[in-house]
């Protein structure tokens, strides 16, 4: 069985760590980001998500974001060293896209769990109370989440996030690989076609309806507890 290779907090601080490392001495060798291991086997989420999808999604797509982030960060550090402001600005889209892709997918893998390990078991306690406060019931939340996320144009993500200002849980949708920065991310669902097309074809709503059977609410609850 594969295991998650790094702490979630480190994943969420990619942008911060990029700038922090860039502002220190350039004689220190930069540590590169690496593809995290999954906390389960590729076939562990079947029949909800096939092994083929998981393998390609993890080994090919997530790896591409990791590679792109390392390249963009290396170029950014060189631009800082050279005081090349134009290049620093020009590299921002690549840092956002690849850094966001790495952050989002690292959170996504931990959002899921095989049924035999609790995947799909509904939340309880304070998390469930917070969801009911905003959406009346878990079922209403899932229905609204699915409706909003299915409507994302092109590629993107649906998120349940914690708003630290209002102290409420809220649904947010974002395009492409934009990371959730306005809220603490609790639960993210990938609706890029590579997340479901091999199995669900163009039926994004069917994928969204099914994925809740392998959502790891224990991870979501832990993130909620840490966010408060």
Question: The domain containing residue 173 runs over which residues?
Answer: 125-227
- Is 190 known to sit in a ligand binding site? yes
| Statement to judge: residues 96 and 150 lie in one domain | no
- Is 57 known to sit in a ligand binding site? yes
pLDDT at 42: 98
| Statement to judge: residues 27 and 58 lie in one domain | yes
Residue 203 falls inside a structural domain: yes
- Please give the C-alpha separations between residue 90 and each of 70, 87, 93, 138, in angstroms, as whole numbers: 16, 5, 7, 43
- Is 102 known to sit in a ligand binding site? no
Average pLDDT over residues 98-110: 98
- Is 61 known to sit in a ligand binding site? no
DSSP sequence for 91-130: THHHHHHHHHHHHHHHHHHHHB--GGGTTTPPP-HHHHHH
Digit-coded pLDDT (tens) for 42-59: 999 999 999 999 999 999
Kind plus residue range of the DSSP H or E element containing 14: helix 14-22
Digit-coded pLDDT (tens) for 135-181: 999 999 999 999 999 999 999 999 999 999 999 999 999 999 999 99
CATH of the domain at 145: 3.55.40.20
Helices (H) and strands (E) in the chain, counts: 11, 3
Question: Are 177 and 97 a contacting pair, CB within 8 Å?
Answer: yes
Global confidence as pTM: 0.86
| Statement to judge: residues 18 and 79 lie in one domain | yes
DSSP sequence for 40-87: S-TTTTTTTS-HHHHHHIIIIIIHHHHHHHHHHHHHHHHHHHTT-HHH
Sequence-distant (6+) residues with CB within 8 A of 152 are 158, 173, 175, 191
Digit-coded pLDDT (tens) for 9-46: 444 444 444 334 433 434 445 689 999 999 999 999 99
pLDDT at 29: 59
CATH of the domain at 57: 1.10.287.990
By three-state DSSP, how is residue 189 classified?
strand
pLDDT at 31: 87
pLDDT confidence band for 3 (50 / 70 / 90)? very low
**Is the model's pLDDT at 2 over the cut of 60?**
no
Say what percent of the chain tops pLDDT 70.
87
7-21, 65-79, 207-221: range with lowest mean pLDDT: 7-21
């Amino acid at each position: 069985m594969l295991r998650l290779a790094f702490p979630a907090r480190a994943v969420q601080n990619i942008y911060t760590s990029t700038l922090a490392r860039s502002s220190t001495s350039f004689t220190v060798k930069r540590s590169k980001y690496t593809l995290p291991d999954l906390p389960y086997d590729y076939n562990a989420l079947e029949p909800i998500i096939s092994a083929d999808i998981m393998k390609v999604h993890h080994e090919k797509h997530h790896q591409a974001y990791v590679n792109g982030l390392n390249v963009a960060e290396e170029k950014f550090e060189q631009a800082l060293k050279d005081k090349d402001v134009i290049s620093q600005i020009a590299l921002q889209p690549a840092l956002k896209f690849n850094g966001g892709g790495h952050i989002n997918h690292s959170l996504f893998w931990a959002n899921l769990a095989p049924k035999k390990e609790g995947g799909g078991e509904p939340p309880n306690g304070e998390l469930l109370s917070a969801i009911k406060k905003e959406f009346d019931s878990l079922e209403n939340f899932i229905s609204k989440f699915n409706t909003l996320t299915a409507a994302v144009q092109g590629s993107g993500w649906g998120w349940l996030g914690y708003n630290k200002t209002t102290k409420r849980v809220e649904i947010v949708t974002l395009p492409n690989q934009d990371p959730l920065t306005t809220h603490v991310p609790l639960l993210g669902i990938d609706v890029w076609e590579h997340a479901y097309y091999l199995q669900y074809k163009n039926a994004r709503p069917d994928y969204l309806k099914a994925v809740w059977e392998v959502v790891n609410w224990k991870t979501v609850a832990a993130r909620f507890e840490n966010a408060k």
